[in-house]
């Protein structure tokens, strides 16, 4: 039982993105900065996340529109109310839109390749465009009827916000 509990703690606190890509990524580069001028940051590797808005398949790639949300220290998306905008991820090959559907949380590590301008309501929106190197779907932990505690809970620190974890687990 102790071994199972220890394994849960280790995977529950593990980073979603590989250590190699975490080392390559520009942690000093804020999403809001790139949003102002994506062309200036071509070639930079970033780790962004958020909620999927739409998935569209093309001949040789899939475009996934994402509502950006800040990531916590383990690269898990936090609340959508803190979003700074939207971005598009290009994934090589076919991705099933029923798997990558509206509302699912995703974390992407990839290279900024520029921007694409598309309609958003009655305006034209400049989406930063990311070529995915890694993409991870996350699922929300079950809601509890009361605040639950993370591993710091032994010291009385309540954990109120939603917690997302890799879909594979």
pLDDT at 109: 92
Model pLDDT, residue 17:
77
CA neighbor of 48 nearest in space, from 27, 18, 23: 27
- The pLDDT value recorded for residue 41 is 96
Nearest to 74 by CA among 46, 99, 53, 47: 47
DSSP strands (E only) in the chain: 45-57, 61-69, 86-92, 105-120, 123-140, 148-149, 158-159, 164-166
Per-residue HEC secondary structure of 29-73 comes to CCHHHHHHCHHHHCCCEEEEEEEEEEEEECCCEEEEEEEEECECC
pLDDT recorded at residue 13:
52
Neighbours of 39 (CB within 10 A): 13
Higher pLDDT, residue 64 or 2: 64
Task: Specify the pLDDT at position 141.
Answer: 60
- CATH for the 17-166 domain, from 3.40.50.460, 2.60.40.10, 3.40.140.10, 2.40.50.140: 2.40.50.140
DSSP 120: E
The pTM of this model reads: 0.76
Q: Is the model's pLDDT at 167 over the cut of 70? A: no
Domain definitions of the chain by residue range: 17-166
pLDDT tens per residue, range 128-149: 999 999 998 987 665 555 454 5
Looking at residue 79, what DSSP letter applies? Answer: -
* Percent of the chain's residues with pLDDT above 70: 73
């Amino acid at each position: 039982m102790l071994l199972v509990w220890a394994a849960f703690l280790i995977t529950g606190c593990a980073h979603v993105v590989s250590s190699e890509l975490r080392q390559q990524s520009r942690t000093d580069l804020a999403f809001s900065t790139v949003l102002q001028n994506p062309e200036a940051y071509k070639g930079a590797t970033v780790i962004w996340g958020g909620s999927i808005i739409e998935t569209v398949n093309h001949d040789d790639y899939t475009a996934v529109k994402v509502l950006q949300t800040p990531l916590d220290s383990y690269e898990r998306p936090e609340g959508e109310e803190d979003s700074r905008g939207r971005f598009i991820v290009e994934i090589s090959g076919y991705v099933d839109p029923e798997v990558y559907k509206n509302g699912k949380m995703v974390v992407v590590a990839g290279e900024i390749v520029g921007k694409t301008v598309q309609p958003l309501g009655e305006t034209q929106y400049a989406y930063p465009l990311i070529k995915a190197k890694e993409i991870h779907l996350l699922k929300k932990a079950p809601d509890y009827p009361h605040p639950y505690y993370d591993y710091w809970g032994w010291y009385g620190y309540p954990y109120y916000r939603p917690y997302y974890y890799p879909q594979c687990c």
